[in-house]
Structure 1
Amino acid sequence: MPPPLSVNPLLIAQLRNGSEQAFQSIYQQYHQAVYRFAYAFLKNDELSKEVTQEAFLSLWIHRQDLSETLPLYPYLFNKARRLTIDAFRRITSASRMQRELMTVQETLSNETEDTVLWKDLQQITADILKSLPKQQQMVFKLSRMEGLSYEEIAKELHISKNTVKYHLVCALKSIKSQLARYDVLYVAFIFYCSFVK
């Protein structure tokens, strides 16, 4: 993507000093270019918007590291590139997990002991979810059981998207560690959760 016009060094100085107005000006100038770059690779509107939002969130958080003498575009481009690669890897990983889930589903549907295993998994799931802090429980259920996006969960619980991501990451780490005690495959657990409403 060709770089937009360069940002006035004074605007960068104002951004470094915490000016939200300067940030908005920079956002207006660059956000379409960042979005188009992400969308060119991801072909997904929501993911491309997330990449754009996270790139600008990083710009705001690390604004004091910016140089008034260096162009802003390379910073945003590199951040958007890394975020796009991460999002692409998540898509690939999700596709691979989907294939694994189909294998688990076929196995479960073909064996007579499946009913017992399914009930066991149901109990294990309930026990693990109860052990999580309340906020992590809600975020996990809304994400993995209801299929809501980060933005939808944030609106539902009146918290930021970053807080949603934090709780989901903590929940998934805790779940994985607890599943080891039960000798249960993580993919089977997620497969079960996707059917619970």
Structure 2
Amino acid sequence: MSQLGVECISKIKDGDAIAFQELFYAYKDALFGYACKLCRSPEMAEEAVQEVFMKIWINRQQLDPSLSIRAYLHTAVRHCIFNILKKAALDANLRQSVFHHQPLAANTTEDAVYAADLQRVKSRVLDMLPPQRKLIFCLSRIEGLSHEEIALRLGISKNTVKDQIVKASRFLRQQIEHLAIFLFVYFFL
């Protein structure tokens, strides 16, 4: 299983279904085990492995026989699992936001604890930003200052302010997406 030859990958690239079948049987079990470790769901792991092999066959002309197929397969499975988890987490968030607006009896103590936890997470994520970027972001989003006001206060250009806010927003969004995936995996799988 360890390394299929360059010749086998070249055959797959040329459309050889038997060589592709050899690749599939050589790696399917190891990839399934790896995917299960990532997502703890046999169904999701099977879906990811199938999707990766399907994409390999469809895009076989792009295969590079000189590169490690094992590393490529593991990376592809990891990305596929993360994409599946991200979609599931976003769907769960969507359902939660729909249910959140329903007039149900509220547990105010639980809501207060949740709000405090959420605020701590926000603070930790904000603390991950470089100091100048954090300051600019907080002046904009928390204090409500305009780009021009921030630029004047800090003695920098409006373009720098805008650039730093865009970078901070992108970073925060990425951290929140990773957190949503982690929470989904932790609580629901």
The normalised TM-score by structure 2 is 0.51
1:74 offset after TM fit, Å?
1.6
Q: Please state how far the C-alpha of 1:98 moved relative to its aligned partner.
A: 3.0
State the partner residue of 2:61: 64
Identify unmatched segments of 5+ residues in structure 2: 106-189
Deviation, structure 1 residue 75: 1.4
Q: Displacement, 1:50?
A: 1.0
Of 17, 42, 46 in structure 1, the residue corresponding to residue 43 of structure 2 is 46
Q: Is the aligned partner of 1:32 residue 2:18?
A: no
Map 1:112-131 to 2 at 5 A: none
* Residue in 2 that maps onto 1:96: 93
Q: Could you tell me how far apart the structure 2 residues matched to 1:75 and 1:44 are?
A: 22
CA distance in 2, matches of 1:45, 1:23: 23
Per-residue CA shift, 1:73-127, capped at 9, x if unaligned? 12111211111111111222232223223224x32x79xxxxxxxxxxxxxxxxx
Which has the higher relative contact order, 1 or 2, with Cα contacts under 8 A spaced 6 or more apart? 2
Aligned-partner residue type, residue 73 of structure 1? R
| TM-score, reference length from structure 1 | 0.49
Q: How many residues align?
A: 105
Q: Distance in 1 between matches of 2:88 and 2:40?
A: 11
Within 5 Å, which residues of 2 pair with 1:7-26?
Answer: 7-26=4-23
Aligned sequence identity (%): 21
State the distance in 1 between where 2:10 and 2:71 align. Answer: 17
CA RMSD between the two structures: 1.9
Q: Tell which structure's C-alpha radius of gyration is larger.
A: 2
TM superposition shift of 1:49: 1.0
- 3-state DSSP of counterpart to 2:30: helix
Q: Which runs of 5+ in 1 are unaligned?
A: 111-197
